[in-house]
Amino acid sequence: MPAKVSFYVRDIPVHGDVILAPMDGYSDLPFRVLCREYGSAMSYTEFVAVEAIIHGAKKAMRMFDYAPMEKPQMTFQVFGPGEDDIVLAARKLEALQPGIIDLNMGCSVPNVSGRGAGAGLLRDPQKIGRIFRRLSQDLRVPVTGKIRLGWDSQTRNYLDVARTLEDNGASLVAVHGRTKEMKYNGQADWDAIAEIKQAVKIPVIGNGDIKTACDIDRMKAHTGCDGVMIARAAIGNPWIFQRRDRDQVSVRETVQLSLRHLQLMVDYYGDYGLVLFRKHAVKYIHGLPGAAELRQQLVTCESPQRFVELLLQFEQRLEQRLEIGDLQPTVQHQSLISNLQ
């Protein structure tokens, strides 16, 4: 039974209040599907350059693949500096039937923000207004934006930007409580997110410094935000969408989900899925006894079958240390090994 409706993105109901953030290199189809199954209420793609969309770059367009279960909250995120290019790319993407199109105005990476895209747009609220006016008039789907608090501590113009978004047709704003200058350093300013929530009527999603399940409810209570967006804390930890912390997750659950994630990656990407999964794998095992030694083996492993064997051996060693006894591969594990051969 789906969770109750927490808020609407225009006319699209969002069931639940915890959402996987769009993360470059992480928020691909396999990881989004896992997080949706564990309770993430929306799906955001990784951000994709509008220039690549306009030219139909194969690698870029594949990033908009999605599973039926991600609809209707499937959100395509784009970035770029040019008004015309942003609108043209969004029109092209609408044919792929996303639920929502989102403009990234938060990326702090110099080769993005430095050319006026991502957080670089925050320096020109009037330009943001023009972009969203055109998007909201030209597109049938809702348009939303993800922002930071400003370019730096001297230009924290988040209220101006949030009001501009609302006034020009945006259906939601997600707010990372840091400036571009801060990157991921310092403490996220939840008070600023609360100010935005008080200033606009569209839904507000809060983002920044969510590390534990308790932090989700603390942010909601502190800011009044409609939803909470989780980025780095979700990597290797989809259980956070169930409001469970890692110390509540057994070794067996950890290994089983790791293996399922690996299977999804290999199914989607082919053999290269193993390479892409390594960065997830080290996060799944982080903090467990013996993880450092296993990490070295996993990041150099080139065989999916061997990868599975290493994880199962790791699980068995830990279970033995916990005096639970020897653990033989389950039917699910046997199937995974066979499928990955």
> Could you give the residue numbers annotated as active site?
107
Distance of alpha carbon 141 from alpha carbon 11, whole angstroms: 10
Q: Which residues contact 324 (CB under 8 A, 6 or more apart)?
A: none
- Residue whose structure tokens are 């690698």: 59
State the CB neighbour count (10 A cutoff) for residue 48: 25
Helix axes 304-321, 272-285, angle to 10 degrees: 10
**Both tokens assigned to 76:** 């395509």
Got the DSSP string for 96-148? T--SEEEEEE----HHHHTTTSGGGGGG-HHHHHHHHHHHHHH-SS-EEEEE-
In 43-99, alpha helices (H): 50-54, 58-62, 83-94
Number of H helices, E strands in the chain: 14, 11
**Both tokens assigned to 118:** 């991502």
State the CB neighbour count (10 A cutoff) for residue 313: 12
Q: Is 317 helix (H, G, I), strand (E, B) or coil?
A: helix
Strand partners, 244: none
- Give the CA distances from residue 83 to residues 47, 96, 129, 164, in Å, rounded to whole numbers and listed in that order: 17, 21, 10, 16
Question: Positive or negative CA dihedral for 235, 236, 238, 240?
Answer: negative
Distance of alpha carbon 39 from alpha carbon 33, whole angstroms: 10
